[in-house]
Structure 1
Amino acid sequence: MSSVTPVPADAVPADPTPSGGTSTRTSPRRDAGAVVRAYVALTKPRIIELLLVTTVPAMLLAARGIPSPWLVLNTLIGGTMAAGSANALNCVVDADIDAVMKRTSARPLARHAVPTRNALVFGVVLGILSFGWLYATTNLLAAAMAVGAILFYVLVYTMLLKRRTSQNIVWGGAAGCMPVVIGWSAVTGDVGWQALVMFGVIFFWTPPHFWALAMKFRDDYAKAGVPMLPVVATAAHVAKQIVVYSWVMVVWTALLIPATGWVYTAFALLAGGWFLVFAHRLYGSVRRDEPANPMKLFHMSNTYLTAVFVALAVDSALSLPVTGWPF
């Protein structure tokens, strides 16, 4: 996550006083670059990058060809604003948690780099802009689903589930699955079964990905009072759940094979096997009470999701004709 350190106030020349002495004042000026970085950090750019990686392949598959580059660009812009809105509002609600946890203590609101009211307005405005942009450049369905994803992430996951249940990330993670559905609907104006399969791939990927991170930062979540599964369950139980979800995810990716070609099929199966090796290794280490490094699975999970969806994009580009270009 990005970190922003407020720039100290600059000292200004001392003013003469009637007594002939001097008084020292400080200016509230802040470096404009630091302010911009703080607002960018509110949107959690690294998370957005991963979401956008899944959007473009969904659009390629939906188009049954290479869609208009303008449509792709406009969808990515609207999707970026929607994800940024959700993440900024998440930072507002979770400011108290972020300040307690070492992993998130550098976030802007935890460091008081951005006023809470400003962050709230920023997040709401981004959400409104995302709806307007997608409605004007794609269609109403894509725009409505973007707003729905924002509301679900903030109201259901952040405010309702996160602090109340160990299954928070399982159901709350559904918001992170929406970019593929939004991308599909931006092209077709509806939601096909292929979009639902892609949704499921990310849905089942999210628990192994996030629980691996939560295993590493278990003490952080416990200190903040967030009942992530690694906080309330044994490491062996968490690792077993990671294996179960990993198997379901890999099997689920195969459901997309009838709509794709050999490139996607090969990468989905090979990458899936690779993921399962990491998941089973983590489970084996925990069961044998050996030192385990869940962050290996966490980092690998990012690579896995990127590889599968990039393969889907390449497969679609190689297999399908160029259509919908405005030139």
Structure 2
Amino acid sequence: MNDEFVPSPARPNPAACLNTFVALFKLRIVALLLFAGTAGAFLAARGFPGWQPLVLMTLTGGLAAMGASALNEYVERASDAQMRRTRKRPLINGAITRANWVPFVALAMIVAPALAVLPFNPALAFFSFAGALIYGGIYTLWLKPRTVLNIVIGGLAGTCAVLSGGAAAGHWSEPGVVVLGLLVFLWTPAHFWSLAMMYREDYARVNVPMLPVRTSMRRSALWVTLHAAATGFAAFAIGIVIAASWLYGLPIVLLTGALLWRCARLIAEPTSARARSLFLTSNAYLALVLLLICLEGVL
């Protein structure tokens, strides 16, 4: 009798599955967008908006943002395979072997929540869908491979996240919400141009016209600084609009000073290492501004 050993199928690794899920749907970015939406809801309500609007915004906006992120990875998988920053994404490294289902699931995640809330909150449906359309469609398919202004216009997706939070709370046109949407719009190029400065050769290799690819590192640093300064101005404007206390104003002064100091160092020494420092600082800056807005609303 010739017994042949047949190995049993390997059990899925829970940690690996979680990492794949986080990477495919870009949950770190989605979390920051939802935080922006939460701050928008606080500004719209002029305080704590209640749990129902926050849960509604999280489900609607979160699913739409996750769907747009997955669609972005599906469309860009060929160029991602050539870039040092993205070549370990799940559609490239073999973690997901059948990618044909991704665009269908992604579109369902974008469309279904918008349709679900459309009858009772059309503004939330519109901004959630618009944000996903701008990032997953207009930015990914059209702007990114064609124009140096790609991330400038693409920053409107982040603005839609803020307006979604305001819409969930019932007052998306509140001045504070609008100014926060402007802040995120201004912050986005500074943040992603510093990332592009870190991976300038990657973007050049796949012929993506990010600003640092089309101009010098020093000039890119100047443009980053201009947007960072405008972001800081918007943060101060929010404080004026909502008549914030010193508990908001003083930290904003310190945070904006730290951000502009990083910018000055990048101008003086426009290297990938300095760009990385600014990238991390800008990430923390936005998160802390959003936190201060929420705290100002409840204290």
2:253 to 248, 252, 269: 269
1:103 to 77, 85, 88: 85
Residues in 2 aligned to 1:291 and 1:154: alpha-carbon distance in whole angstroms: 28
Determine whether 1:245 maps to 2:245.
no
1:193 to 175, 191, 203: 175
Determine whether 1:127 maps to 2:110.
yes
Per the alignment, do residues 25 and 165 of structure 1 end up closer, same or farther by CA in structure 2, a change over 3 Å counting? farther
1:64 to 10, 31, 46: 46
Per the alignment, do residues 219 and 291 of structure 1 end up closer, same or farther by CA in structure 2, a change over 3 Å counting? closer
Determine whether 1:316 maps to 2:297.
yes
Partner residue in 2 for 1:116: 99
Residues in 1 aligned to 2:214 and 2:5: alpha-carbon distance in whole angstroms: 53
Output one character per residue of 1:159-181: Cα deviation in whole Å (capped at 9) or x when no partner: 00111112211111211221111
Answer whether contact 1:58 1:180 (CA < 8 A) is retained: yes
Aligned residues: 295
2:242 to 250, 253, 259: 259
2:28 to 30, 46, 66: 46
Structure 1: 4+ residue segments shifted above 3 A: 20-30, 32-37, 132-136
The one-letter code of the counterpart of 2:101 is N
Output one character per residue of 1:177-222: Cα deviation in whole Å (capped at 9) or x when no partner: 2111110011125423322211111111111111111111111111
Determine whether 1:74 maps to 2:56.
yes
Residues in 2 aligned to 1:260 and 1:45: alpha-carbon distance in whole angstroms: 33
TM-score by length of 2: 0.91
Task: Please provide the CA RMSD for this pair.
Answer: 2.2
Unaligned segments of structure 2, at least 5 residues: none
**SS state of the match for residue 188, structure 1?**
coil
**SS state of the match for residue 104, structure 1?**
coil
**SS state of the match for residue 266, structure 1?**
helix
Unaligned segments of structure 1, at least 5 residues: 1-19, 319-327
**SS state of the match for residue 198, structure 1?**
helix
Partner residue in 2 for 1:92: 74
Structure number with bigger Rg: 1
Percent identity, please: 32
Per the alignment, do residues 40 and 172 of structure 1 end up closer, same or farther by CA in structure 2, a change over 3 Å counting? same
Partner residue in 2 for 1:8: none
Deviates more, 1:253-262 or 1:78-87: 253-262
Output one character per residue of 1:2-23: Cα deviation in whole Å (capped at 9) or x when no partner: xxxxxxxxxxxxxxxxxx6566
